[in-house]
Structure 1
Amino acid sequence: MLKVQEIREIIKLIDQSDIEEFVYEHDGSKIELKKRVQAVVQEQVRYVTEQIQSPQPVVRQETAPEAPAVEKAPATPENTSAQAAEKSNLHKIVSPMVGTFYQASSPDSDPYVKVGSEVTSDSIVCIVEAMKLFNEIEAEVEGKIAEILVKDGELVEYGQPLFLVEPK
């Protein structure tokens, strides 16, 4: 039977090719992958259209003058390079496919990981559902979850960062 990493690699190759259907049979096991590029594009367009058609109303309230706001330090090269250095040591866990991101195996279950959770290279951090196939995504690095970049139920793209991990 193929390993999860090998299946992911096959999915990547099919995703990047013009192949619409792939079937692999070996020792009584069968893997069948189908992609419908047009259906995914139409769904994304509809999603964007729904967002545009239902803008949030802007509510303005008049209030009494407040105390002066505390000014942020201007973005100096030192501040920017410190933030970049902090972000550069973080490992990105990216989506291996286009699909829907889920933090837990079911709506009733606890999330696989939260900010601050310790993970190993084989820890499952989320599920990406594509065409009714639920694909468990592994951390592939040891460390601590620093940030979750995607909301539960959100559509994700191939290669889109899902988590930032502080490696050990």
Structure 2
Amino acid sequence: MLKIQEIREIIKLIDQSSIDEFLYENDGVKVKLRKRGQEGETIVQKVVQEKEVQPVQKVITETPQQAAAPSEKQEAVKEEPKNVDTENLHKITSPMVGTFYAAPNPDADPYVKVGSKVEENTVVCIVEAMKLFNEIEADVKGEIVEVLVENGQLVEYGQPLFLVKPE
């Protein structure tokens, strides 16, 4: 069974993100959240419980617009990773809970993509938390070999965002 605290946390994440609708389904339990109105009020539309379930494992963060028409920039983030030994790779992780953005605005190219060379102070993405846009730097010199998250995806504290082959 979803605990009330877990539902409250989901509602906070939805309020802080740019998504309009959220649907969670697991083992007969359905939770659908939708924003409406000017104030961005989040409502719990439907909860059906048939048996006890584990806490939320993954949050779907795709807006209807993103699902309908993925941009070329979003597809660039989904490039296939090179076959590289992951033990020797550096992980760039999220320093906070928030929404991952690969580019400074929807019309711009992503900061980095697979094959991009980065320095320690190269901005690789933005994580939005509580309406603040935080630039995340590479903190290592090397080459991006894999992008682990999608544009607009909610990320957790410490979640790996990129794999970098250090120089």
Interval of TM-score (by shorter of Structure 1 and Structure 2): 0.5 to 0.7
Counterpart Cα distance in 2 of 1:142 and 1:40: 36
Q: Does 1:120 align with 2:99?
A: no
Which structure shows the bigger proportion of residues in strand conformation?
Answer: 2
Counterpart Cα distance in 2 of 1:90 and 1:162: 12
Correspondence list, 1:67-106, <5 A: 86-106=85-105
Counterpart Cα distance in 1 of 2:119 and 2:88: 17
Is the alpha carbon distance of 1:106 and 1:40 closer, same or farther for their aligned partners in structure 2, counting shifts above 3 Å? farther
Correspondence list, 1:128-147, <5 A: 128-147=127-146
Gaps of 5+ in 2: 1-5, 33-82
SS of 2:92's partner is strand
- The one-character-per-residue Cα deviations of 1:117-155 (angstroms, maximum 9, x if unpaired) are 000000000000000000000000000000000000000
Could you tell me which of 38, 42, 57 is aligned with 2:11? 42
SS of 1:121's partner is coil
| Superposed CA RMSD | 3.0
Instruction: Quote how far apart the aligned CAs of 1:86 are.
Output: 1.1
- The one-character-per-residue Cα deviations of 1:23-69 (angstroms, maximum 9, x if unpaired) are xxxxxxxxxxxxxx99644345999x703149xxxxxxxxxxxxxxx
TM-score normalized by the length of structure 2: 0.55
Is the alpha carbon distance of 1:117 and 1:138 closer, same or farther for their aligned partners in structure 2, counting shifts above 3 Å? same
Could you tell me which of 7, 15, 24 is aligned with 1:51? 24
Counterpart Cα distance in 1 of 2:159 and 2:136: 13
- The one-character-per-residue Cα deviations of 1:76-103 (angstroms, maximum 9, x if unpaired) are xxxxxxx8x9111000000000000000
Counterpart Cα distance in 2 of 1:133 and 1:154: 16
Letter in structure 2 aligned against 1:50: L
Matched positions, count: 103
Identical amino acids, percent of aligned pairs:
58
Q: Which has the larger radius of gyration?
A: 1
Gaps of 5+ in 1: 1-36, 55-82
SS of 1:88's partner is helix
Which structure shows the bigger proportion of residues in helix conformation?
Answer: 1
Letter in structure 2 aligned against 1:143: G
